Amino acid sequence: MNPTDTAAAAPRRVAVVTGGSRGIGRAVAERLAHDGLIVAVNYASDSASAQETVKAITAAGGQAIALQADVADEHAVTAVFDRVEAEFGGVDVVVNCAGRMALSPIADLDLSVLDAVLRTNVRGTFVVAQQAARRLRAGGSFVAFSTSVVATQFPAYGAYTASKGAVEALTLTLARELRGRDVTVNTVAPGPTATDLFLDGKTDEQIEALAKTPPLERLGTPADIAHVVAFLTSREGHWVNGQILRANGGMA
């Protein structure tokens, strides 16, 4: 058989991207689809935005479906993975972009808000990671999301950094638990990135100051982060494992 025939017959890789309807998640979904993966775009509640993401992918020649699930609901997440495996034969890449942020001094934070942040960012990451660990095929990758604020430790980010610190602690543990599976586990920790989640509640002056913080003196873009995820989930990036990658233009 001609080697090119073998390559042509290889099944397409399949990705599940949580929080894939907007911001960094949408950029990741579109980039992975551009690289030839079939993408399941998970969303929590914004069906319209998820469908827009799917339409953008299909219009560019890719293949995608939108699937609803709260990432902290293990039954809903299991159903998403069941559907993807049934429809496409397996899962090769899982990227957990779903997240929640609340800004407040620790002394003033409503504990119900803290509970909501931890539910999405810690429990949600754990639930998605659990399914990834059970289902990823050999050669696959799991990518979680943290934040560079875990290192910079800006005021008012206490709840958010506490939740993302837990994600970072999980990363190498899971990578080691998957020894022998040929599956990588990494976490991307963006710096200031121009998404609705980042821009919400900030003044123009605050945004400008944060944009000047990295040596590159600009905000990151969702595409900047999607490029990093694309590398980590590619064949070329497969030697990177158990790492926290701070994609932040040179911040701490």
Sequence-distant contacts of 102-109: CB under 8 A, at least 24 apart:
102/159, 102/160, 103/156, 103/157, 103/160, 103/201, 104/156, 104/158, 104/159, 105/155, 105/156, 105/158, 106/158, 106/159, 109/158, 109/159
Start-to-end CA distance of the chain, whole Å, equals 52
Element (H, E) at 145: strand 136-145
Q: Are 83 and 57 in contact (CB under 8 A)?
A: no
Catalytic residue list contains 43:
no
Distance CA 191, CA 185 (A): 20
Rounded Cα–Cα distance for residues 249 and 252 (Å): 9
Check 43, 88, 160, 198 and give the catalytic one. 160
**Which residues are identified as catalytic?**
160
